[in-house]
Chains A and B, each alone.
Chain A
Amino acid sequence: MTFFSHLRKAAIATAFVLGATAVHADEQYFPLQSYRVGPYAAGGTGFFGGFIDYLNLINIRDGGVNGVKLTWSEGETQYEVEKGVEVYERLKSTPGIAAWNPLSVGIAYAMIDRITDDKVPLITINHGRTDTTDGRVFPYVFPLLLNPYSETSGIVNYIASKEGGLEKLKGKKIVVLYHGSPYGKETIPIYELLSQKYGFELSQIEVPHPGNEQQAQWLTIRREHPDYVVLRGWGVMNPVALKTAQKTGFPADHIVGNVWSNSEEDVIPAGDAAKGYTAITTQASGEQYPVVQEIVKTVYGAGKGNLEDKSRIGSVYHNLGIVNGILNVEAVRIAQAKFGNRTLTGDEVRWGFEHLKLDPARVEALGAKDLFHSINVSWDNHEGDGYVTFQQWDGKKWNVVSDWIAPDWKLLRPIIEKSSEAYAKEKGIKIRTAEDADAVVSN
């Protein structure tokens, strides 16, 4: 880059800062609590890169959403809660905020009270508090596509499909190797429930954080001789698990990873040991999907791509960012259809998310066929019945090896409601009705 292009960028940035005070009526703003530094930078650059790439695509190709331009700015959090809160407090008064997308549980937790007071949606795609799925109690929090319970059910359904049906699970043996944290332990009762329901033998083994020593756990696994091992890992625990499995002679193609054990960063450090390893995902990897191709052509072609390393286009986190972009943009579009093609309030966008229904045909029209399946959010179901698929690592890239699988949402809903109702009682929250959800604050 030349000096002048720097100067131009600085001028644009200044203009943006000045312009922000006198906001144009046709801009929708996305505050980004990104993390490009620190231990989780790989995930952060991929996810926020994909998100920004998609917003850029909408601006360049379509001139925004129905003429409403999308804007954003980033605040670095390093995945630290205090920094995330600081960025929230700094950016929250910017006009025209559509939604918050922190991709960090700690930061998301600290924002729940704040965004509820401010009436702006908080999107925790594929993660977050499970009970925020219940929109009756958490009006502004959206764990889109997949919460930990659905993930569990999806994994069990996948193993069943490999064995030839749910009834074939009877007598099979599954070991769950989980990270010793609230995140890791969250699904223990669900695996137990499913084990009772389908009659498979279950053993759940904890790996203390951070998980860089797992010899003992894998020796136990070898003794128990399970049919499958589910890896519910995080960070360094994942490659170490794969390597230790290889050392103890457990085949990688019988290890199934969960949604935080499914990225390139989890398998590449394990080298050969990861070959054949399968993991769940809500969005397929690769750049063959039309929307990713358009991003490559339109955004990267114009030199506006966000990823520095272009080989990461189509990686797990990059595609998650793109899908997250699609969901945010479509929620805005749906809300615009009701409230008008203008800058929307946070509460109006919340209404948009609560009517975010993208069937497979609509997903295909968006150029994302096979990238993700569909979503069907409603005022009381903030997860939106996301489908999952499974990818196998061949040593170089992930390849989809299953159909789109539906978790057993009906089975899980009562457990979620029990937890959210306990929260409502604790906090003295009135449980929302459909009419409450239709009352929208439009300034």
Chain B
Amino acid sequence: MAVQALDAERLPIDWQKLALPAVLIAVAYGLIPTYASSYLVEAILLPFLALSLAAVGLNLLTGYCGQLSLGSSAFMAVGAFAAYNFNLRVEALPLVATMILAGISAAGIGILFGLPSLRLRGFYLAVSTLAAQFFVQWALTKFGWFSNDNPSGVISAPHLTVAGFSLDGPTGRYLLSVTMVIVLTGLVWRLVNSAIGRNFIAVRDNETAARVIGVPVLRTKLLAFAISSFIIGVAGVLWAFTYLRTVEPAGFNLDRSFQILFIIIIGGLASIRGAFLGAAFIVVFPLVLSRLGAFAFGGLFDSGVLDMSQRIVLGALIIIFLIAEPNGLSALFDRLKRRIGSRSS
């Protein structure tokens, strides 16, 4: 009976909740392409979008399904190198198809490295996903074929065209990026509000109970790995093709995996909004702080001292945020909204 109920009924859509995303999408398409400087697009929005999407992907796996992973940046690398090779070796493959194929490649690798999750949990699983991290980087370095035998082992983004339009300029790359992020985030949003999404949560909250009520635990876990890796793979393509344009395997190292994990922890687990807030905090905030610091004290200290103190400020802020709200920026945001709401009513 419980199973039927889970399958049959979708959670009601809260239309009020859609107001903010709608405004953001309007800004993303209406204002930013016209008014944003190339600095804002190239240095802030492009890395922000790619990492947000990666964080959305990881949040699906870790936040919703409860499977801790330290392999995110490996899946990004698979996406990036797969896209490069599909584009290089398949004539006239449309860009969107390239991205989807890259995502599927990452999903394949994700399922492979998700297999230990059938036996392992928590930190043990995290350690086994580390294997993905090291294996992928090793394989990309070891076999020159992946980088078309480039002696320096790097790959470069091809010309980006969609339906005959060149997207090589900053605005074009931004539009491509933002569209992919919105579409995939929308799909994830639908997914977490569906029966599958509730299966994810059931597995996370209590695996045994989930099994008892008839959730196919193994399939659910592998599905979570597959979908999450797909999204992270596409994020990797965005990172390589729209943001950096030339990447080396070393750019997808363990640090990046940790960065994405911290994004979802600080932003809020099991929250799509949290992925974006966390990415903003980790990617954009240090830059803002650095600009502010340079502006206020630029002449007084050398750039090293300034940067060191920013690290201290950032670290302190993370601690304060997490003490104030262990559920992340997303929960903090909700609390703020409630407080404003209660005051105005």
Binding site for B on A (CB under 8 A): 6, 9-14, 17, 34, 36-37, 41, 45, 74-76, 78, 81-83, 85-86, 88-90, 93, 105-106, 109-110, 112-114, 128-131, 148-149, 180-183, 185-186, 189, 415, 419, 422-423, 426-428
Chain A residues with CB under 8 Å of B283's CB are 82
Smallest beta-carbon distance A212→chain B, Å: 15
Chain B interface, DSSP helix/strand/loop, else mixed: helix
Give the complex CA separation of A113 and B148 in angstroms: 18
Chain A residues with CB under 8 Å of B122's CB are none
Q: Which of B268-291 contact A (CB under 8 A)?
A: 283, 287, 290-291
Q: Tell me the nearest residue of chain B to A131, going by C-beta.
A: B151
Cβ–Cβ contact B250 & A131, under 8 A = no
Cβ–Cβ contact B304 & A37, under 8 A = yes
Q: Mark B125-165, 1 if CB is under 8 A from A, else 0.
A: 00000000000001001000001111111101111000000
Q: How large is the interface on B (under 10, 10 to 19, 20 to 34, 35 or more residues)?
A: 35 or more
Q: Tell me the nearest residue of chain A to B84, going by C-beta.
A: A426
Give the complex CA separation of A78 and B304 in angstroms: 9
Chain B residues with CB under 8 Å of A114's CB are 42, 245
Chain B residues with CB under 8 Å of A180's CB are 138, 141
Cβ–Cβ contact A85 & B299, under 8 A = no
Q: Does B308 contact A (CB under 8 A)?
A: yes
5 additional A-B pairs beyond A86-B44, A181-B141, A182-B248, beta carbons within 8 Å, are A36-B302, A85-B42, A106-B250, A113-B157, A422-B149
Chain A residues with CB under 8 Å of B38's CB are 89
Q: Does B251 contact A (CB under 8 A)?
A: yes
Take A37-B307, A75-B303, A86-B287 as given contacts and tell me if A130 and B156 are in contact as well, using a CB distance cutoff of 8 Å. no
Cβ–Cβ contact B43 & A428, under 8 A = no
18 residue pairs from A and B, CB less than 8 Å apart: A13-B299, A34-B303, A36-B304, A41-B304, A74-B303, A76-B306, A81-B251, A82-B47, A85-B243, A89-B42, A106-B251, A109-B244, A110-B245, A129-B154, A130-B151, A182-B153, A427-B156, A428-B159
Q: Does B22 contact A (CB under 8 A)?
A: no
Cβ–Cβ contact A113 & B303, under 8 A = no
Among A82, A90, A128, A149, max chain B CB count under 10 A is at: A82
Give the complex CA separation of A346 and B147 in angstroms: 31
Q: Tell me the nearest residue of chain A to B41, going by C-beta.
A: A89
Binding site for A on B (CB under 8 A): 38-39, 42-44, 47, 88, 138, 141, 147-154, 156-159, 243-251, 283, 287, 290-291, 298-300, 302-304, 306-308, 311
Smallest beta-carbon distance B107→chain A, Å: 26
Give the complex CA separation of A45 and B39 in angstroms: 27
Q: Tell me the nearest residue of chain B to A112, going by C-beta.
A: B246
Give the complex CA separation of A8 and B249 in angstroms: 46
Cβ–Cβ contact B302 & A427, under 8 A = no
Q: Among the listed B39, B148, B152, B299, which residue makes an inter-chain contact with A14, where contact means beta carbons less than 8 Å apart?
A: B299
